[in-house]
Each structure stands twice: as structure tokens, then as C-alpha cells.
Structure 1
Amino acid sequence: MDPNRFTDDRSESRLYIGNLDLRITEATLIKMFSPFGKIISEDFLWHTRGPKRGEPRGFAFIQYSSKEEAELAKEKMHGKLACGRPLVVRLASEKYLVDTVENSSKVRGHLDKTCISGSSSGQMSKSAKIAAIKSKLKALEEENSNVKKQKLS
């Protein structure tokens, strides 16, 4: 058994839901995810101390009664906009690095309009954002140097 990955039934049917807008409540979250199967538990995380005490942390976990229900919810809800923000939905047992590596290799392969405006799911990885900003800065620097050359002429 891989110590870095849980393989029990509970973790296979448990979803991580991230990038939640602070206006989304527990009730709203349950309402959004209940069409995909029977929810047996929900963990909505809150700040417990500091200046943000009592405010939502922006992520939650939902436990379905089966792995199939969780996978269906993941497939249908990942990247879906909720209060203007794309949801990040994945199995709780999946590693975050898998998603990051896939997104960053796509970015290095090509930086086109699709990549700069976000993927088809409406979400953009941190690597993609950085690459897009670097590309924009380079274009601005080239434009600026061309303007200076024209002024000197």
C-alpha cells in the first residue's frame, strides 16, 4: 500500500472542493452537490483564530455514499463557476501536484489565447498565470524599446 495515498472506500468517495467564494454557505454547497448522489457528510472549514475568525476558509470536503457518485460530481462540477469563481473539485485522495504538473507542462508547450484566458473549464493554474504575465511583460518591453528607437530616429 502506498503510504502517500489512502485507498479505503471513504477516501475514494470524498471530494475536496476549493476556490469557494466567501458568500457560499454550507447549505448552498450541499444544494449544489446533492444532485450527483447521496451526501453522507460535509466538512465546511472555517477560520478558528486570528482576524478572520468565523469566516469561511474557502474550501470544504463532501463525502458521498459511493465512489461513482463522487466521480460524477467531480466531472460535472470541476471548473464550474460559482459566484464568479471556478470551483476546484477533486477526489480528496488525489495529490495536488498531479494537477499542477499537468497544467504547467501544457503551459510550457504553448502559450496561445486559450491558455492565457484560461482552460476550457474556466480555470487557470498558477503556472499558467505566471507564464501569461511574463509573456505580456516581454511584449510590453519589446513595444517600449521600439517606441524609443522611433523617437531617436
Structure 2
Amino acid sequence: MDSGSFVDEKCESRLYIGNLDFRITEAALIKLFNPFGTIVSEDFIWHTRGPKRGEPRGFAFIQYSTKEEAELAKEKMHGRLACGRPLVVRLASEKYLAETQQKSSKVMGSASRGGILSSGSLGLEQSPSKSAKIAAIKSKLKDLEGESSNAKKLKPS
């Protein structure tokens, strides 16, 4: 078995749990998710710096021994209220994919609005080159600088 397949299997049985109320403890989280299978590990995420150091960040990860246990927990716990808040439960790999797609669509959207992307012969958007990405960032910065200088002009002294 290669290390890539081990990572894939681990991701398939690892859950992201979000929208956690700050009153929920690690023990309470384990108690909530224990009925669905054998929990191999739990990572409760804390602030490590700044004024909120030592306080929970509102999300955690739970690793089950099998993919089936993780999927069952996801099915049963997603949307369930805990301390008055609906839990967001996804496979950790789904969370990563959703964030990646969201970030790439924002970049592609801002770049295409700036007229940087060209269409291929099939009418499909091509991936922007490094220089196109830099140009998009510069354009966005220029827009933001323009907005801030306009705001200063409108503000009464």
C-alpha cells in the first residue's frame, strides 16, 4: 500500500465539525459522536495566539476507524442542534474541496471581470498564468485604493 492511498483512506474517515458553540467541550463532542463508531482521534481546534488564546475556534475534526462510521455520523449529525446551533458535519476531504473550489471561483471571477482571461477555441476559460494572476491582484489593489481615496474625499473634515 502506498502512502497516498493511506492519506486518502484517512481523509475519508475523518470528519470536519463546524459551527460549534463555544460552550461545547472536547468531552461533550466525543460523547455526541461516540455512538456512531470507534473514534480513533479527535482534534479540537483552539486559538493559539492573540487575545482569544486558549479559547475554542468553533470547529474540530474527528477520525473514525472506518469510512462507513464517518459517513453514518455525518448523515445523523449534520444540521443537528448542539447548544442551539446547527452543526456542520462534512468529510474533511469535502471541506477541503469546497474551500478550494470557492477560492478558485473567486479568483477566476475577479480575473474574468478584469478582462484578463481569454477563451480557448472551445469557448472554455483557460487557467490564468502567473502573470495574469499578478495583474488581477494589482487591478484589485488599484480598485481598493481608489475606493479608499473616494471615501476620504466624501468624508467631511
Q: What's the TM-score bracket when you normalise by the shorter of the two chains? A: 0.5 to 0.7
| Residues 54, 76 of structure 1: alpha-carbon distance in 2 compared, 3 angstrom cutoff | same
Distance 1:99 1:87 in 2: 22
What's 2:125 paired with? none
What's 2:40 paired with? 40
Question: TM-score, with normalisation over the residues of structure 2?
Answer: 0.57
Superposed CA deviations along residues 86-118 of structure 1, whole A, max 9, x for unmatched, are 000000011225998xxxxxxxxxxxxxxxxxx
> Match for 2:98: what amino acid?
Y
| Residues 28, 47 of structure 1: alpha-carbon distance in 2 compared, 3 angstrom cutoff | same
Task: Say whether 1:29 aligns with 2:14.
Answer: no
Question: TM-score, with normalisation over the residues of structure 1?
Answer: 0.59
Bigger radius of gyration among the two: 2
What's 2:81 paired with? 81
What's 2:15 paired with? 15
SS of residue in 1 equivalent to 2:93: coil
Distance 1:62 1:54 in 2: 20
| Residues 23, 92 of structure 1: alpha-carbon distance in 2 compared, 3 angstrom cutoff | same
Structure 1 stretches of 4+ moved >4 Å: 97-100
Distance 2:79 2:8 in 1: 26
Superposed CA deviations along residues 6-47 of structure 1, whole A, max 9, x for unmatched, are 962100000000000000000000000000000000000000
Superposed CA deviations along residues 47-66 of structure 1, whole A, max 9, x for unmatched, are 00100000000000000000
| Residues 90, 99 of structure 1: alpha-carbon distance in 2 compared, 3 angstrom cutoff | farther
What's 2:62 paired with? 62
SS of residue in 1 equivalent to 2:72: helix
> Match for 2:15: what amino acid?
L
**Structure 1: runs of 5 or more not aligned:** 1-5, 101-153
What's 1:109 paired with? none
Aligned length: 95
Superposed CA deviations along residues 56-84 of structure 1, whole A, max 9, x for unmatched, are 00000000000000000000000000000
What's 1:90 paired with? 90
SS of residue in 2 equivalent to 1:41: strand
Give aligned-pair identity as a percent: 80
Distance 1:28 1:81 in 2: 13
| Residues 32, 99 of structure 1: alpha-carbon distance in 2 compared, 3 angstrom cutoff | farther
RMSD: 1.9
Equivalences for residues 57-136 of structure 1 within 5 A = 57-94=57-94, 95-97=97-99
Distance 2:86 2:98 in 1: 16
